[in-house]
Amino acid sequence: MLITLLDGRPLPAGELARVANISAQSASMHLGQLLNGGLVNVSQQGRRRYYSVASPEVAHAIEALGVVSTRDKPKTRAHQNELSYARTCYDHLAGQIAVRLAEAFERGGFLTAVNRSAYLVTECGEELFSRWNIDIAKLRGLHRSFARPCLDWTERRPHVAGALGAAIYQTFLEFRWIVRSSNGRVVRLTSRGTHELDRFLRC
């Protein structure tokens, strides 16, 4: 249920019970425990209660647990390949494309890993993100982690999370470089996105 909620959409208990293949009563019990533990939030809309991941930090912990709980990469079924290539991790990009972006940011001198829990945006990085209409000063003022590595559970290497990771994801959506799939967390590159990102990743 928590993995399903990582796509950022609030979902009702009935749908979460279906994806977990458990009874509605069992799902309600588990969701009550997750709510008491501060891992999920709930909101009321009419008669339905919608559950969502409580915070980006909880989403990060769930993604990290995926690394520990899956020793091997997912088997090569079509959906799993799509999930491994590009998906959402709560409010930012994950998967192979996100890991390649993080590596390109470091290789190009746009980001510097200060330690295992933070990235520093360099001067040329600020220029790059400004061209992508990302306001770095505004992101730094938000009450959340600014830019940090998030260990990708399929790639076993970090992608960019935090306010910067969320801004990159939203920008790519606005530029129509990526589109969300109806298939859960899967994200698909458009032809324009493929062209722009291939050019950037080759640098």
The token duo for 52 is 């969502």
Collect the ranges in the chain with pLDDT lower than 50. Answer: 73-76
Handedness of CA 165, 167, 168, 170 (dihedral sign): positive
Residue for token pair 């995926």: 66
- Asked if residues 162 and 170 have their Cβ atoms less than 8 Å apart, the reply is no
Does the domain made of 2-54 have the CATH classification 3.90.1150.10? no
- Measured distance CA(8)–CA(165) in Å, rounded: 14
pLDDT at 65: 74
Q: Where are the CATH 1.10.10.10 domain residues in the chain? A: 2-54
* DSSP letter for each residue of 146-186: -SEEEE-TTTSSEEEEHHHHHHHHHHHHHTTSEEE-SSTTB
pLDDT at 137: 94
pLDDT at 131: 95
Residue 150: CB atoms within 10 A of its CB come to: 26
Bridge partners of 43, per DSSP, are 50
pLDDT at 194: 94
Tell me the residue ranges of DSSP E strands in the chain: 11-12, 40-45, 48-53, 87-89, 92-94, 111-115, 118-121, 148-151, 158-161, 178-180, 187-189
- Measured distance CA(181)–CA(27) in Å, rounded: 25
- For the question of whether the overall pTM of this predicted structure is more than 0.75, the answer is no
